[in-house]
Structure formats: structure tokens, C-alpha cells
């Protein structure tokens, strides 16, 4: 457990999969973690983080960005349309683009600002009713729609169903990404990031294995 252990495991998984060293980016998921745990990882030199809640990120990251130059923070949680404006100001990337109305909103904001965060389309690979994400059968049309809006869609993201082997979900996401000519694959968390790397992940989102368990109480 801890940053250097996870970095070593990522390097091993890259090597085992015949992938170039450094081809997988580690997003350290800092949501809900106490400040001292995040600051320890910042002091170790890590600069790429993931957050799930716009307001929580707004409260924490402006000061850390000043103190630790070069930070990049990615939004990996569900994004409400009324938080989209704040989100494009706070994050270098958004991994949870999942509906046409949000795409439209982000496109309008990108046009007004002349810039946009990198975007990943979230795919609900298990078609779970309670889970966000574009359904697999709707993905190609949705990606085409975002291209029509000039949105910088960089890749796809998924969260496989908890009770299933994640590997077929990762493979499905990789296939959908290749089919649509996309480069980024945001997949893999603390429990399965090595499997995700074997399946082609470019970004793994690891929280508790770096920082310890989250305390929501």
C-alpha cells in the first residue's frame, strides 16, 4: 500500500503486458481523504489526482495548486449540468461525459472560453440501471454527436459491475475505443488496475490502495 508500491505494481503490469514504461497514467483518487494523506503524496512528487465532487475539489485544490505547482486534477464523479461551468474551470479532464445535454453544455462553455478540459465518455458496460454512462449500443452515435460539437473527446471510461469479472468489461471498452478512433482508456481501480493495464488502460484511477480506506462517517 502507498504511492511507491502502486507505482511499482503499475510498472510490473506494463512490463508484463509488453507495454512501454510510463504508458499508464496513475490518477490518485483523493476524494474524501484527509488533507494530511493527500499532502504526503504531493510531497512525494505525485501531481495527478482524481476527485468525485465539484464542491469538495473547489475547497481543496486552489491552495494545493499554489503550493505544489504542476498539479492536474481530473473529475471522475457524476457531473450535474448546473456544476459544469465550475467543473471546466477546476479540472484538466472530465471522465464522466455521459449524456447529450451535458455535451451541449460543455460545448457551449468550451466555445465561450476558447478551451476545454480533455473529455472521456463514461460507458455503462454492464448496462446497470443504477449506474451512469452511455449504453454500449448508443456509444458510437454519441461519440459522433460530440465530434459534431467539436468537443475534445479523448477516450472512454468505465466502472465494471462490482460482482463481475472486470476483464470482459475492460476488453469491451478497449474494443469500443479502437472502433471509434479514440486513444484514452480510463479503467481500473484499487482492486483491478493490473487487469485493466493488461487490457490496455491508459489511465488507472486508484484511491484506497494509495491513501488507505475512505471514512465517510
Ligand X SMILES: *Cc1c(COP(=O)(O)O)cnc(C)c1O
Number of residues that bind ligand X (CB under 6 A): 13
Pairing outcome for strands 203-206 and 25-29: parallel
Region of 181 on the Ramachandran plot (φ > 0 left; ψ -120 to 50 alpha; else beta): left
76 binds ligand X (CB under 6 A): yes
Give the x-and-dash track for 24-63 against ligand X (CB under 6 A): -----x-x--------------------x-----------
Per CB under 6 A, the segment of 3-11, 104-112, 140-148, 204-212 that binds ligand X is 204-212
CB of 96 to ligand X, least distance (A): 8
The 10 Å Cβ neighbour count of residue 34 is 13
- Told to check if 207 binds ligand X by CB under 6 A, we report yes
Smallest gap from Cβ 124 to ligand X, in A, equals: 12
Q: How many Cβ atoms from other residues are within 10 Å of residue 73's Cβ?
A: 22
Given a contact cutoff of 8 angstroms between Cβ atoms, the answer to whether 145 and 155 are in contact is: no
CA separation for the pair 184, 29 (Å, rounded): 18
Span of 55-63, 109-117, 129-137, 207-215 interacting with ligand X by CB under 6 A: 207-215
Cα–Cα distances in angstroms (integers) from residue 170 to residues 87, 175, 197, in the given order = 27, 9, 9
- How many CB atoms are located within 10 Å of the residue 99 CB? 18
Determine the interface stretch with ligand X among 67-75, 110-118, 138-146, 200-208 (rule: CB under 6 A).
200-208
- Output the smallest distance, CB 214 to ligand X, in A: 7
SS3 33: coil
Residue of 6, 54, 77, 177 interacting with ligand X (CB under 6 A):
77
List of residues contacting ligand X (CB under 6 A) = 29, 31, 52, 76-77, 159, 189-190, 205-209
Amino acid at each position: 500500500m502507498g504511492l511507491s508500491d502502486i507505482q511499482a505494481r503499475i510498472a510490473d503490469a506494463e512490463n508484463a503486458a509488453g507495454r512501454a514504461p510510463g504508458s499508464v497514467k496513475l490518477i490518485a483518487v483523493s476524494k474524501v481523504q484527509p488533507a494530511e494523506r493527500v499532502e504526503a503524496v504531493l510531497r512525494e512528487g505525485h501531481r495527478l489526482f482524481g476527485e468525485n465532487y465539484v464542491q469538495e475539489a473547489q475547497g481543496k485544490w486552489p491552495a494545493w495548486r499554489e503550493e505544489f505547482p504542476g498539479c492536474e486534477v481530473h473529475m471522475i464523479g457524476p457531473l450535474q449540468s448546473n456544476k459544469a461551468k465550475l467543473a471546466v474551470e477546476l479540472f484538466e479532464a472530465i471522465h464522466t461525459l455521459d449524456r447529450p445535454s451535458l455535451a451541449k453544455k460543455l460545448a457551449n462553455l468550451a466555445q465561450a472560453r476558447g478551451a476545454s478540459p480533455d473529455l472521456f465518455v463514461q460507458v455503462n458496460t454492464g448496462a446497470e440501471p443504477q449506474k451512469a454512462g452511455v449504453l454500449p449500443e448508443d456509444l458510437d452515435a454519441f461519440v459522433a454527436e460530440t465530434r459534431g460539437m467539436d468537443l475534445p473527446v479523448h477516450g472512454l471510461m468505465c466502472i465494471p459491475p462490482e460482482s463481475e469479472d472486470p476483464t470482459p468489461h475492460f476488453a469491451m471498452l478497449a474494443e469500443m475505443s479502437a472502433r471509434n478512433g479514440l486513444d484514452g482508456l480510463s479503467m481500473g481501480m484499487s482492486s483491478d488496475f493490473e487487469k485493466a493495464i493488461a487490457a490496455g488502460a491508459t489511465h488507472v484511477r486508484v484511491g484506497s490502495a494509495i491513501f488507505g480506506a475512505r471514512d465517510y462517517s
